[in-house]
Structure 1
Amino acid sequence: MISTVLTWAVQRRLATVEHIRQYPHEVQQQVLRELLHTARATEWGQRYGFADGLTAREFAQRVPISSYEELYPEIERVLRGAANVLWPGVVQWFAKSSGTTNARSKYIPVTRESLQEGHYRAGRDMTALATLYYPEVNILGGKTLSLGGTHGPNPFRAPEAGSRVGDVSAVIMQNLPAWAEFVRTPPLELALLDEWEEKIERIARHVLNADVRVLAGVPTWMIVLLRRVTEMAGAASILEVWPRLGLFLHGAVAFGPYRELFRQLIPGPQMHYLEIYNASEGYLALQDEPNSEDLLLLLNHGIYYEFLPPDQWEAEEPQAIGLEAVELGKTYALIISTNAGLWRYKIGDTVRFTSLAPYRIRISGRTKHFLNAFGEEVVVENADAAIAAACQATGTTVRDYTAAPIYFSSQDGASRGSHQWLVEFTQPPADTAQFAQTLDHTLRQLNSDYDAKRHRDLALTPPELTVAPAGTFERWLAGRGKLGGQHKVPRLSNSRELLDEILVQLKK
């Protein structure tokens, strides 16, 4: 009966999801009005003249686009307890993220509004869609096993202030409403442990006899947990442990390279997969159709969107466009204004529009997380697809990878280069040359700039594949104090700094 009541309650959100699809521009204008009205008396609002009736064009003309570094002086004051700086009141929670191209930690404000109107509202939307599409799983009749990070005292304030920082997953779990806590496992004292080796072991032991219907988390760590649970149970498959398991809500990294591995771990047709785009800055999109990998942009969840074309990414005064001006198939950098006090903020992610009615996207990479040392403009979306194709061609799976440029000059003085791919396999392929060839061939098919540079090896020679021993990336993350949670290995870089650091580690 509890399951029936919860299902009825969450499915009331389906009408709102449909409203987003039907009236996107009206919804976004309402979000902007509410943001400006709420923040008009803050220091930021007074500085830039926030007022009722301010148009989207006037907002864009008055307020500068800001990176984290540019907004940090205000964020630091908020961290130290200053009130009414970027958003009304004193912010007590912060999502800590290393980012993917910058080793320095970022502290993103998480307000009550961003939790309630963003993360939790979107969570209800995702649950409503899942109960609609997969009623046979009865996801609210059992437990959702969620993996996340941890949180601790805010280092900028005295402990008695009660302010906390941590992975956004930990912030969300710590503040979950009662109904959501009722259907999830493990308990918070295990879910928020900071030592990942101990966390995996204790969670595996705790959930052995649970009725797990749904998995939620980052694929990398979920694989480790599933293997440990299966091993503890002495089972051939995780379905012997959790026979009603039917759904995985995944995010943080592209799922393509992991798909085959999950099919091996969870065999059978009963398992379904849905993707979410939930970042430290907010819950931005979700997969609203089961047979499509496109993500519906969430437009009434406390975030106002603008989009930066590629030719504006490095401009001194970048000019963003509104939702109504985006084009199908084009890649844009995301600019967001949120109910956590981020104003015209460059989140760093890039998206490609796959549909304009409704607005659906795919995450294509990051503005500072791509390979473009030779004009090849390889983004993470290309890399993930090429890795997945190479895995399929060679019957293997990849646990993690990173790639960086190789610079050298030919004897006649012409400058040429290549890419080095450091790949950690779960099972190395019998033919690594075939893996590298398929990787190269797929990139040439997907990316015309890469293909042009590879033509007759004039600018780029074939990629160099280096096989990393098992545990390489985990040890590297651990050595940087970033094991677990939202921390992940940067996929692509225009610098060899990260790759060379890992290679030096392998020689020790």
Structure 2
Amino acid sequence: MISTVLTWAVQRRLASIEHIRQHPHEVQEQVFRSLVHTARHTAWGRQYGYADAPSAREFAQRVPVSSYEQLYPQLERVLRGEADVLWPGRVEWFAKSSGTTNARSKYIPITREALHDCHYRAGRDMTALATLYYPQTDILGGKTLSLGGTHGPNPFRPTDAASRVGDVSAVIMQNLPAWAEYVRTPPLELALLDEWEEKIERIARHVLEADVRVLAGVPTWMIVLLRRVLELAGTTSILEVWPQLGLFLHGAVAFGPYRELFRQLIPGPQMHYLEVYNASEGYLALQDEPDSEDLLLLLNHGIYYEFVPADQWEAAEPRALSLAEVSLGCTYSLLISTNAGLWRYAIGDTVRFTSLAPYRIRIVGRTKHFLNAFGEEVVVENADAAIAAACQATGTTVRDYTAAPIYFAAHNGASRGGHQWLIEFTEPPASLDQFTAVLDATLRQLNSDYDAKRHRNLALMPPQVTAVPTGTFVAWLARRGKLGGQHKVPRLSNSREMMEELLEQLNN
């Protein structure tokens, strides 16, 4: 009965999802008006004339595009407890951003509106779609195993017990409504443990006897937990532990490189996979069709979107496009204005539209996470697809990888470079040369700039691939205090800093 009532309640969100699909521009206009009106009496709103009810065009002319560093003076005031700076009221919760493994943490405000009207509303949307598409799983009749991070005191207000910072997953779990907490496992005292190895061990033992129907989390860390569950259960299939398991809600990293690993751990046709795009800054998109990997942009969840074309990324005052102005197939960086008080904020992610009716996207990468040392413009989407193709060709799977440029001395008057890849395989391929060749060939097929640079090795030499021992990347994350939660290894970088750290670790 509880499952039936909960299913009926969440499926009421289906009409709202359809409204997003059918009336995107009207919905975004309403969100824009609501955001500006609500923030008109804040310090930021007064500075930029929000009380004048500016149009979207006037808003773009008045309000600067802001990176985290540029917005930080206002964010620090919010962190220290000042009210009415970027959004009405005083903010108590902050997501400590783990979108990268940079030493400097980012603290993203999580207002009550952001929590309830963005994250939780989108969570209900995803649950509604899952119950619609997979009724046989009866996902609300059992438990959702969610694996997240932890939270702790706000370092800017160490004596204020009410103010906390942590992974967005931990903030969400700590504040879940009662019905959502009822269908979730493990209990908070385990889910929010900060010591990662202890957390995995205790959660694995706790959930052995649970009726788990859904998994939710980052693929990288979910695999670690599932393997420990299998060890404790003494079996090779998760379905022998949780026979009703039927769905994995995944996000934070591209799923392609992990798909085969999950098929091995959870064999059988009953298992389904849906992607979510839930960042520290907001829940932006979700997979609304089971047979497509495209993500529906969520337009009525307290976020107003703008899109910066690639040729404007380095501009001092980048020109942004509205939703109505975007084109298919182009790559854009995202600007968001949100009900957490982020205004024309450059989130750092890049997307490509695959549909304009409705508006669906694919996450391409990040503005700072691509390889372009030689004009090759390799983005994470290219790299993930090439890794997947090489795995299929050589019968292996990859746990993690990273790549960075190699610079060579001038040769015959032309400067030639290359890419160095460190890859952690589950089992090394029989032929690393074949893996490398397929990786290279697939990148050339997917990316004309890379192909042009690779022509006759004139600008780019063939990639240099090194298989690294199991645990290499986990050890690197551990050294930086980044184990668990949404922390992940940067796939691509134009800097060799991380590459050199890993090589030094391997040599010691």
> What is the RMSD computed on CA atoms of the aligned residues?
0.8
**Aligned residue number for residue 4 of structure 1:** 4
**Aligned residue number for residue 387 of structure 1:** 387
What amino acid sits opposite 1:190 in the alignment?
L
**Aligned residue number for residue 421 of structure 1:** 421
Instruction: Compute the TM-score of the two structures, normalised by the length of structure 1.
Output: 0.99
The runs of 5 or more residues in structure 2 that have no matched partner are none
Within 5 A, what are the aligned runs for 1:393-412?
393-412=393-412
Within 5 A, what are the aligned runs for 1:333-482?
333-482=333-482
Cα separation, 1, equivalents of 2:321 and 2:328: 14
Equivalent residues of 1:258, 1:398 under 8 A apart = yes
**Aligned residue number for residue 186 of structure 2:** 186
**Shift in Å at residue 102 of structure 1?**
3.5
Equivalent residues of 2:41, 2:51 under 8 A apart = no
What are the Cα deviations for residues 371-412 of structure 1, in whole angstroms up to 9, with x where unaligned? 000000000010011111111111111111000000002442
SS of the equivalent of 2:51 reads coil
2:234 maps to 1:234: yes
**Shift in Å at residue 53 of structure 1?**
3.5
Q: CA 1:213/1:84 → structure 2, altered by over 3 Å: closer, same or farther?
A: same
What amino acid sits opposite 1:261 in the alignment?
L
2:147 maps to 1:151: no
Cα separation, 2, equivalents of 1:462 and 1:436: 8
Instruction: Compute the TM-score of the two structures, normalised by the length of structure 2.
Output: 0.99
What are the Cα deviations for residues 16-70 of structure 1, in whole angstroms up to 9, with x where unaligned? 0000000000000000000011100000000000026321001101100000000
Cα separation, 2, equivalents of 1:480 and 1:53: 46
SS of the equivalent of 2:243 reads coil
Cα separation, 2, equivalents of 1:97 and 1:400: 21
Cα separation, 2, equivalents of 1:490 and 1:160: 34
What amino acid sits opposite 1:120 in the alignment?
Y
Cα separation, 2, equivalents of 1:272 and 1:98: 27
Task: Quote the sequence identity (%).
Answer: 82
What amino acid sits opposite 1:481 in the alignment?
G
Equivalent residues of 1:101, 1:368 under 8 A apart = no
The runs of 5 or more residues in structure 1 that have no matched partner are none
2:264 maps to 1:264: yes
What are the Cα deviations for residues 286-326 of structure 1, in whole angstroms up to 9, with x where unaligned? 00000000000000000000000011100011110100000
**Aligned residue number for residue 220 of structure 1:** 220
Cα separation, 2, equivalents of 1:12 and 1:52: 36
SS of the equivalent of 1:384 reads helix
Equivalent residues of 1:99, 1:105 under 8 A apart = no
**Aligned residue number for residue 123 of structure 2:** 123
Equivalent residues of 1:101, 1:369 under 8 A apart = no
SS of the equivalent of 1:201 reads helix
SS of the equivalent of 2:349 reads strand
Cα separation, 2, equivalents of 1:384 and 1:401: 10
**Aligned residue number for residue 210 of structure 2:** 210
Cα separation, 2, equivalents of 1:53 and 1:413: 59
Equivalent residues of 1:306, 1:321 under 8 A apart = yes
Equivalent residues of 1:98, 1:104 under 8 A apart = no
Cα separation, 2, equivalents of 1:398 and 1:170: 28
Cα separation, 1, equivalents of 2:30 and 2:425: 48
What amino acid sits opposite 2:264 in the alignment?
Q
**Shift in Å at residue 14 of structure 1?**
0.1
What amino acid sits opposite 1:182 in the alignment?
Y
**Shift in Å at residue 426 of structure 1?**
1.1
Q: CA 1:52/1:29 → structure 2, altered by over 3 Å: closer, same or farther?
A: farther
**Shift in Å at residue 336 of structure 1?**
0.2
Cα separation, 2, equivalents of 1:414 and 1:131: 58
**Aligned residue number for residue 298 of structure 2:** 298
- What is the total number of aligned residue pairs between the two structures? 508
What amino acid sits opposite 1:128 in the alignment?
A
**Aligned residue number for residue 34 of structure 2:** 34
Cα separation, 1, equivalents of 2:63 and 2:448: 36
SS of the equivalent of 2:333 reads strand
Cα separation, 1, equivalents of 2:349 and 2:205: 37
Cα separation, 2, equivalents of 1:303 and 1:13: 18
